[in-house]
Structure 1
Amino acid sequence: MDEIEVRELAPSEYGKWDLLVEKASSGTLFHTSDFLGIFRDVLSKDLRIYGCFRNGELVGGCPLFVRNFKGILKIGSSISNMTHYSGPLIMESASSKVSKRVQDTHEILNSLREFLCKQGFDSINLVFSPGFEDIRPFTWNGWNSSVRYTYKLDLKENIDNNISRKIRRELKTAEEAGLKTRVINDPDTYYRLFSLVYEKQNLEPPVPKEFFERVFKLIQEKDVGYMFVSEAPEGEAVASHLNLYGKKCTVTWSSALNPAYGRMGANSLLYYNEFLDLKSRNFEYMNVMAANVPRFADFIMGFSPKLMPFYIVSYYSKRCSLMRTLHDIVYEKTE
């Protein structure tokens, strides 16, 4: 049995990492060094990509954002602002035997887990992408686990047979209001709509405009997604989705809506026309990241999606566990 070596990748090795992301079935744009680099540069994140090597070949790994909490706790997380998942990846075994495939998976993940536990972290949070099912090397070794969900809209189905009466009414409202949809890639337009969503809640946007400028530059340079908008008759963009390309799918990653047009069916029109467009381009499904917030989940249910789980594993050092316990005790006493 060949031993797995785990170490931090040098930036000069990021090309090898991106090849793994491309080949691994659970690899996503969120895993790529280009996308991770936007968080590192714009949000001043401490990014580390750990690689697992077997006989010199990169066979797995995980990106991690590292921070020191108040100079006391060392915290690592595979996700950051605006990212739903970006956890461990493995090069799937080519063996026809299930037992061999499971063994290879567990060897890589166990080596990664053991390495991370030796790096002095007080807290580690890893969010696996949808489709990565076997997290047992973590849960069998004392890590906590939880589940989140995304929605899968099957593009092989007939959308008109699956939409609810509420969605039909909203589509009619949008048509009567003269709303149209089209593809544009304009960070200024998107950030204006994005900011309006948070302004209504008296909140600051979670990322600055520069973040989206970098995302749009990546979209333009490497054709990894597109921006779809609903426009009023006078040409004003009133709702928008940022869609990123995945393996046989698109990910509806970020959406924004001018609250003044919230009852005009702009969002329903976006999803409906996106469905038809992507179906014509032979994508298999839309991954809609809206299943974990009740009001968003209720809306997407109008398109009859399928629920897809994805998993989270967490590690806490004894010191961190004690601090969490003390925090909970203090919080309960102040209730």
Structure 2
Amino acid sequence: MDEVEVRELMPSEYKEWDLLVEKAQPGTLFHTSDWLEICRDVLSRDFKIYGCFRNGELVGGCPIFVKNIKGMLKIASSTCNMTDYCGPLIKEGASSKASKRMQDTHEILGALREFLCKQGFDSIHLTLSPGLEDVRPFTWKGWESSVRYTHHLDLKENVDSNLSRKIRRELKSAEEAGLKTRSSNDPETYYHLLSLVYEKQNLEPPVPKGFFERVFKLIQEKDAGYMFVSETPEGEVVASHLNLYGKKCTVTWSSALNPEFGRMGPNALLYYNEFLDLKARNFEYMNVMAANIPRFADFIMGFSPKIVPYYTVTLRSKKYSLMRILYQATHEETE
């Protein structure tokens, strides 16, 4: 087997990377150069795309956000704010043999792992996309691993037969309140709703409005997703979902709800009508990223989703681990 070479991609090679994202099964909008550039420009997050080559062909790789903490620690992560997963990608091989596909996966991930270990990072944290489940090339070499979850709503099933009593009550409340749903493309409306959610918790939104403006622009230019809103008979938008298109699915990426209208069932109505709309458009499932926060997970379970795991792998230097312990000890003393 020819050796896998790993190197940083030049911006002129990003189109080739985006083609790999499009073909690789775990590839998502989060992996694309367009998305990474939004994070760089709006969130000031430096990124690199490391490509894996075999005989000059790009067969895998991984985007990495790089952060220097006070010139003392160099941190690498495949994710940042509002980018839930964006780890390694591997080109799907032509072989029908599971053993050959596993061998290719391990060779590419092994080469990537060794390359990352030589870049002088004090901490490396990769969050793999759902669908890339074999983390042994990392864990066999001492990396820590953990599991997270997302929900898949199977669009081939009958949504009505899978609804809990709680969701049925919320749908009835939405009907009695006269709520309706529709598509929208107004980032101002979405950011206003999101701000209301965080104001109630005395917090700032996780990203500035400019981030959503850029995402909306990307969605429109690339036909990469859509926004679905729930509104009152008077036309006031009270809940919204931002959905990104994936392979045979949509990703419910971000949602917002006016807290004053929560008891009317606008969120349940959004999911229900989205389910019917996407089913009619021949999507296979909805990837609802709400499984790692108890109150969100409890709500979406009312639609009887499938629980799908995805994984993280982490490697920390002794220097990083020591500074982390000192930081935690210092903050415990001041509390």
- Which residue does 2:76 correspond to in 1? 76
TM-superposed CA distance for 1:102, in Å, is 1.1
- Which residue does 1:87 correspond to in 2? 87
Question: Partner of 1:74: helix, strand, or coil?
Answer: strand
CA distance in 2, matches of 1:100, 1:170: 49
- Which residue does 2:290 correspond to in 1? 290
TM-superposed CA distance for 1:331, in Å, is 5.3
- Which residue does 2:9 correspond to in 1? 9
TM-superposed CA distance for 1:332, in Å, is 5.8
TM-superposed CA distance for 1:138, in Å, is 0.4
Say whether residues 1:112 and 2:112 are aligned partners. yes
Runs of 4+ that moved beyond 3 A? 325-335
Question: Partner of 2:82: helix, strand, or coil?
Answer: coil
TM-superposed CA distance for 1:163, in Å, is 0.3
Unmatched segments (≥5 aa) in structure 1 = none
Aligned pairs for 1:129-208 within 5 A: 129-208=129-208
CA distance in 1, matches of 2:328, 2:189: 43
Say whether residues 1:210 and 2:228 are aligned partners. no
**What amino acid maps onto 1:119 in structure 2?**
Q
CA distance in 1, matches of 2:78, 2:320: 18
- Which residue does 1:123 correspond to in 2? 123
TM-superposed CA distance for 1:101, in Å, is 1.2
**What amino acid maps onto 2:52 in structure 1?**
C
- Which residue does 1:226 correspond to in 2? 226
Decide whether the 8 Å contact of 1:76 with 1:123 is kept in 2.
Answer: yes
Change (3 A) 1:309 1:166: same
TM-superposed CA distance for 1:3, in Å, is 1.1
Question: Partner of 1:169: helix, strand, or coil?
Answer: helix
- Which residue does 2:55 correspond to in 1? 55
Question: Partner of 1:152: helix, strand, or coil?
Answer: strand
CA distance in 1, matches of 2:10, 2:76: 18
Decide whether the 8 Å contact of 1:93 with 1:105 is kept in 2.
Answer: no
Question: Partner of 2:61: helix, strand, or coil?
Answer: strand
CA distance in 1, matches of 2:149, 2:128: 11
TM-superposed CA distance for 1:71, in Å, is 1.6
Aligned pairs for 1:18-37 within 5 A: 18-37=18-37
Say whether residues 1:38 and 2:2 are aligned partners. no
CA distance in 1, matches of 2:294, 2:20: 35
Question: Partner of 2:230: helix, strand, or coil?
Answer: strand
Give the TM-score normalised by structure 2: 0.98
> CA-to-partner distance for each residue in 1:25-45, whole Å, 9 max, x for gaps?
110111011111110111111
Change (3 A) 1:329 1:202: closer
Question: Partner of 2:263: helix, strand, or coil?
Answer: coil
CA distance in 2, matches of 1:194, 1:92: 38
Unmatched segments (≥5 aa) in structure 2 = none
TM-superposed CA distance for 1:93, in Å, is 1.9
CA distance in 2, matches of 1:320, 1:94: 41
Change (3 A) 1:188 1:333: closer
Give the TM-score normalised by structure 1: 0.98
